[in-house]
Amino acid sequence: MKNSYCSELNKDIKDYFKILEPDFPEWLNEYINTNELLSQKYISVTCGTIYSDLFEDDFFFSSLDHSVAVALIVWHFTHDKKQTLAGLFHDIATPAFKHCIDFLNGDYMTQESTENLTTEMIKKSENIMNLLERDKIKVSEIDNYHIYPIADNDTPQLSADRLEYSLSNALFIYKLLDLKAIQELYNDIEIQKNEENEIELGFKTKKFARILVKVTSRLSVIYREDRTRYSMQLIADILKRLIDEGKISKNNLYELKESDVIDIIESSRYKEIFNIWRKAKKVKVSKERPENVYYVHHGAKVRYIDPLFNGERISKCCKIANKMIENNLSYDMNNYVYLDFDF
């Protein structure tokens, strides 16, 4: 892994990547080190929550780290260049604060609004297009990872994308698994056929399928709990105000580092409320609409996994796993969530 991106990786991420693919595909480096992908180094996978004391996480795992890791998983299971590149490029159109921009776009239930720019981002990159032409790969073969079921598929199936953000969040952000546990879990995964007779990543051992359900059920709640929905909508609304006021543009969100956008926020009239959120330890919740404060009152995308165990959904053959999934899906998102300020 001798190149600018990989040479800057810390040991923790290198060790994690080594699990996903012990023999790093060196051919991938030229694609990783294009400007469009390298810009993803400055975007956190936490959708901005890393910047607030409401959350315990302090590890900066970038959107590029995630994309490379997805590519490594796809390569590990397929050794197919086109599928691997589709995994690498799937978040190339990710803006600062990631899915907060889906909230800004009113797309908090599906969180896919930024994906429409993937093809455009690839096509406007001279470096990427030259590499693809050299390797005789068409844009249409790598700009939509949805066409490759190992890279991506529908919830609650297991794909490289869904597996990766589950593993990295569990390891680095929320400390639910360590490297040894991830190694054991990952080594139990293989390509199987699901109930639709389509290929899908699945587990050989019930124990590991159940472990993944336990971990991802916890993560699923974190992704949409009160503090998370509030934080993502607040960031989105601050950015919308700044866009409306001409202090920043939507295009800037695809060009600037998150730290640069934060500097803009902190030099604006929203500095005080942004810092109240950053220093907050707990959100307030109410079943009744609070008066004279900024609040959030809506749901969010439900991310969960019901993996295969030898070709059958683990929820169908394990009562414990099924109960964990049911408890996860029953999480109540009907609260009004707020802090003590308005704007």
Instruction: Flag whether pLDDT at 3 surpasses 70.
Output: no
Alpha helix (H) residue ranges in 114-178: 118-123, 126-134, 160-168
Say which residue the tokens 């408890």 belong to. Answer: 327
Percent pLDDT > 70 in the chain is 97
Structure letter (DSSP) for residue 58: -
d(CA 286, CA 81): 51
For residues 17-43, give the mean pLDDT. Answer: 97
State the CATH architecture for 4-225+302-329. Orthogonal Bundle (1.10)
Domain ranges of the chain: 4-225+302-329
94 pLDDT band, cuts 50/70/90, is very high
Q: What is the pLDDT of residues 101-137, one digit of tens each?
A: 888 887 656 656 666 789 999 999 999 999 999 999 9
pTM of structure = 0.95
pLDDT of 58 reads 82
Structure letter (DSSP) for residue 323: H
Residue 138: burial class (beta carbons within 10 Å; 0-12, 13-18, 19+): exposed
Structure letter (DSSP) for residue 95: P
